[in-house]
Amino acid sequence: MDLEYTLKHIGTASHQAVEYLSERANLEKIGKITAISVATYYVANKLYDAFLGPLGSVPGPLYAKFIEVPKIFLDIPRGTSFQMFRDFHDKYGPIVRLGPKTIAVSDKDLIRDVLVTEDLPKGPLYKVFQGHGKLSVFSATDKEWHKRRRRVVAPAFSVKYLKSLEPFMRDVTLNLINKIDRTIDGDHGDDNVGQVDIWTLFKSFSLDVLGETAFGTSFDMINDNAHFIPKAINDEMRNGAISAYYPLLSKIFLKGGGKMNPKIDEFLRGVIEARINETEKREDILQILIETKEADEQDDRLNADAIMGETALFLIAGSETISNTLGFTVINLLRTPEVLAKLYAELDQVHLEEGQSVFDHDQIKNLTYLNAVLYESMRINTAAGSALPRITTGPTKLANLTLEKDTVVMTNLYHIHTDKRYWPSPYEFKPERWIPEEQDNFEVNDLDAFFGFSAGSRNCIGKNFALQEMRLCLASLLKNFEITPIAAEMEQAKELRTYITMTIASHTFDCKSCKLGHLFRILIIQRTEPTLRVRNIIMCACNKVLYFSDLTEILLSVLSSKLIEIRAYKAIVCILE
């Protein structure tokens, strides 16, 4: 009876509802009410997230409460957003809100928490590097997948294996030296002096090293700058990025509908097949990747596609990082003649054999000042200058915040490397910071605030490879040539950009280069109480860059000025007041 009664009432109510809804005016009213309710709910939610949610108290520009700042600004072609993000930290502090669910951190403990303790996975931005679905140790976002792949690839970068890679690096360094030699010979204006675009040469140099070590072939970019692979892989990455963001548009506007360039595929398959059929094994990175086919577990065996994905990413991760660091190091050295002189003095203590132009890595790997110069350059011109994005996978505690799942946390390496809390006079190029005995007592630097190679499970797998290559190149270059600045180039090099890696806006940088062995080097030291300060370097055989053309002139100048001490490296004098 109850059931009958209930059914009857449901029937009546339904009938009334249908009647009510069948009136158009009522339908419209309901539509409006629903729309307003949804909009109110949406706005209330946004306002709650903006002001009262877990990130409500995090300082930042007001608009960042509602829109993703990195999305709008990271892509701007001007490449200057890294300065804007640095300024945000200067203004708002070590934690800044950059979007409804995005924050940036610049504090050494917080960065360590994100990268090491919490070990947050890479954020969605890395899809840009997964061009055409190719995952690699660099681009993977899944932690388990990454762990397995990193274990498989790691032997190619072990300290032990780096020894096998050294001959390739030394050969390419010799090519670089020969190329500069030829440029000087072809520059008929001055005796033994030439003008070289060192920025472009370093770029070719780093590509050639990767060609030899990861692709098992010479790109010979130093000599003719024409091999198609580096450019094709760069285009591939760019197209991959566009396809990830705009799948439909890329099909319409990109050449080949955004599909992978078949020439890369053909080239790499050819190299891999040839290698498999070779009887004598070449000890390089490619060999290690190919030999994974013998691995016990199926998942650890890399097929041609996987090898291609990895090597292509090495080219992206390991060429500009190195070449730009070398380029910035030369620029920084030219800006600070006293540092350059000190580095020359250190290298003067290490001798090359007759006919040897390139150092053995063992000869230089422990040179204190050389290493300090490279680290100081990586600090001040952070290769990964745009922050590294990570994402939370569940509620995560960070400082006094509890972040919700899917919150993006950017670790701002450029800011932390130029933060005066850790680095006094942060924009000064002072390699002494890295040598504890040489730090000023009242200017203590905190070396734990350096993350140039990142940290934790996603740190740079190529760190030792990079340091070995950069030491060999820089030390050998300076052992063979005296470098001097060109004023206009120095001025131009002040303009910086960061797209993926930090670079100079002009993408070229010329300096003068003079063959050593044709000159003697003189260091003038001016006594400025309470310390001695190196004043200048003078090169006596490079006519154009001479401040003094002969010894008499130097002596006269010394007598008439406040200079009281001269030290000469290849010859001459030590004059005291």
Interaction between residue 383 and ligand HEM (CB under 6 A)? yes
DSSP labels, 27-65: HHHHHHHHHHHHHHHHHHHHHIIIIISTTTTS---GGGG
Residue 20 CB, nearest approach to ligand HEM (Å):
59
Q: Which is nearer to ligand HEM, 289 or 343 (CB)?
A: 289
CB atoms within 10 A of CB 113: 21
Residue 459 CB, nearest approach to ligand HEM (Å):
7
Cβ–Cβ < 8 Å for 335, 238: no
Indicate which single residue of 199, 202, 314, 509 sits in contact with ligand HEM (rule: CB under 6 A). 314
Sign of CA dihedral 130, 135, 139, 144: positive
CB atoms within 10 A of CB 182: 12
Cβ–Cβ < 8 Å for 340, 291: no
Residue 80 CB, nearest approach to ligand HEM (Å):
20
Interaction between residue 216 and ligand HEM (CB under 6 A)? no
Interaction between residue 317 and ligand HEM (CB under 6 A)? yes
Indicate which single residue of 110, 111, 322, 563 sits in contact with ligand HEM (rule: CB under 6 A). 322
Interaction between residue 127 and ligand HEM (CB under 6 A)? no
CA distance 145 to 299: 10
Could you tell me where the DSSP H helices lie in 196-261?
A: 198-214, 221-224, 228-245, 247-253
Q: In angstroms, how far is CA 552 from the centroid of its own chain? A: 48
Task: Kindly provide the b/e burial profile for residues 456-475, where b requires at least 16 CB atoms within 10 angstroms of the residue's own CB.
Answer: bebebbbebbbbbbbbbbbb
Indicate which single residue of 79, 211, 318, 385 sits in contact with ligand HEM (rule: CB under 6 A). 318
Q: Which positions from 149 through 188 interact with ligand HEM, judged by CB under 6 A?
A: 150
Vertex 255 angle, CA 250 and 259, to 5° = 65
Q: Which is nearer to ligand HEM, 167 or 517 (CB)?
A: 167
Residue 345 CB, nearest approach to ligand HEM (Å):
25
List strand residue ranges (DSSP E) for 325-403, in order: 388-391, 396-398, 401-403
Q: Which is nearer to ligand HEM, 429 or 524 (CB)?
A: 429
Residue 452 CB, nearest approach to ligand HEM (Å):
5
Residue 128 CB, nearest approach to ligand HEM (Å):
11
Residue whose C-alpha is closest to residue 373's, from 340, 345, 349: 340
Interaction between residue 384 and ligand HEM (CB under 6 A)? yes
Cβ–Cβ < 8 Å for 96, 385: no
Interaction between residue 388 and ligand HEM (CB under 6 A)? yes
Residue 106 CB, nearest approach to ligand HEM (Å):
15
Q: Which is nearer to ligand HEM, 137 or 364 (CB)?
A: 137
Q: Which is nearer to ligand HEM, 300 or 565 (CB)?
A: 300
> What would the two tokens of residue 515 be?
């063959």
Cβ–Cβ < 8 Å for 63, 97: no
Q: Which is nearer to ligand HEM, 214 or 522 (CB)?
A: 214
Q: Which helix (H) or strand (E) holds 498?
A: strand 496-498
Residue 95 CB, nearest approach to ligand HEM (Å):
19
**Which window, 193-201, 252-260, 320-328, 546-554, contacts ligand HEM (CB under 6 A)?**
320-328
Task: Kindly provide the b/e burial profile for residues 382-397, where b requires at least 16 CB atoms within 10 angstroms of the residue's own CB.
Answer: bbbbbbbbbbbeeebe
Interaction between residue 316 and ligand HEM (CB under 6 A)? no
Residue 390 CB, nearest approach to ligand HEM (Å):
8
Q: Which is nearer to ligand HEM, 64 or 384 (CB)?
A: 384
Residue 386 CB, nearest approach to ligand HEM (Å):
9
Residue 534 CB, nearest approach to ligand HEM (Å):
27
Residue 183 CB, nearest approach to ligand HEM (Å):
25
Q: Which is nearer to ligand HEM, 202 or 453 (CB)?
A: 453
CA distance 440 to 444: 7
Q: Which is nearer to ligand HEM, 317 or 554 (CB)?
A: 317
Residue 322 CB, nearest approach to ligand HEM (Å):
5
Q: Which positions from 445 through 464 interact with ligand HEM, judged by CB under 6 A?
A: 452-454, 458, 460-462
Residue 409 CB, nearest approach to ligand HEM (Å):
12
Q: Which is nearer to ligand HEM, 318 or 337 (CB)?
A: 318
Q: Which helix (H) or strand (E) holds 509?
A: none
Interaction between residue 306 and ligand HEM (CB under 6 A)? no
Cβ–Cβ < 8 Å for 374, 467: yes
* Amino acid at position 115, single letter: L
Indicate which single residue of 378, 474, 477, 566 sits in contact with ligand HEM (rule: CB under 6 A). 378
Q: Which is nearer to ligand HEM, 192 or 418 (CB)?
A: 418
Interaction between residue 325 and ligand HEM (CB under 6 A)? yes
Classify 23 as helix, strand or coil. coil
Interaction between residue 74 and ligand HEM (CB under 6 A)? no
Q: In angstroms, how far is CA 197 from the centroid of its own chain? A: 21
Q: Which is nearer to ligand HEM, 138 or 481 (CB)?
A: 138
Tell me if the bond preceding 230 is cis, omega within 30° of 0: no
CB atoms within 10 A of CB 176: 25
Question: Could you tell me which residues come within 8 angstroms of residue 297 by beta carbon, excluding any fewer than 6 positions away?
Answer: none
Q: Which is nearer to ligand HEM, 240 or 258 (CB)?
A: 240
* Residue listed under structure tokens 């030439």: 194
Q: Which is nearer to ligand HEM, 429 or 453 (CB)?
A: 453
CA distance 504 to 331: 10
Q: Which positions from 132 through 151 interact with ligand HEM, judged by CB under 6 A?
A: 137-138, 150
Task: Kindly provide the b/e burial profile for residues 412-438, where b requires at least 16 CB atoms within 10 angstroms of the residue's own CB.
Answer: bbbbbbbbeebbbebeebbbbbbeeee
Cβ–Cβ < 8 Å for 548, 554: yes
**Which window, 74-82, 239-247, 378-386, 396-404, contacts ligand HEM (CB under 6 A)?**
378-386
Residues that bind ligand HEM (CB under 6 A): 137-138, 150, 313-314, 317-318, 321-322, 325, 378, 383-384, 388, 452-454, 458, 460-462, 465-466
